[in-house]
A = this chain, B = another copy of it.
Amino acid sequence: MTTSARTSTRPDLIAILENNGFRVTGPRIEIIKCLEKHPDGFTAEEVAESLSQVSRATVFRTLKLLLGANVLCRLALPGGTPRYSLSREEHHHHTVCVNCGKVGEFKASTMERLLRAIGSEIPGEIVGHNIEFHILCNTCGP
């Protein structure tokens, strides 16, 4: 099993494939290399477009596979095309620029404390959440 630390903060996606019993194929390697070139997030379309050799279906199948392995997040701006982003942190939240679509991640300790506290105000058992902040990033901002 491949355990080389390809980057210090991101999981080794090839190893993820192997550890989950998926084959390491040409198309999958191409897709993964492409994802790693887009630290600010990407759309499925962008990936498919830049990999003309790989079929759209395979792109979607691979994205779904990575979503299932919890190393990829899908998030949607209201009314926009969904954007995907490789996960850096184990548990984190996202910022999405409403102008350029750039996706960022953050991990706020304040947030973690809140999530624990909020349970008592909610009727039922919390099994997950979706927390996105819509921002104007420093490049697009005023």
By a beta-carbon cutoff of 8 Å, the part of chain A in contact with chain B is: 74, 76, 78, 95, 97-98, 104, 106, 108, 110-111, 114, 117-118, 121-138, 140-142
Contact = CB atoms under 8 A, between A and B. Distances in A.
Nearest to A64: B79
Number of identical monomers bound together in the oligomeric complex: 2
B123 A134 contact: no
A35 B127 CA distance: 27
Contact of A135 (B98, B124, B131, B133): B124
Contact of A108 (B108, B118, B124, B129): B118
Given A124-B135, A124-B140, A129-B131, 18 more contacts: A95-B122, A95-B123, A106-B121, A108-B118, A110-B114, A110-B117, A110-B118, A110-B121, A122-B133, A123-B135, A123-B137, A124-B136, A127-B136, A129-B132, A129-B134, A130-B130, A130-B131, A131-B131
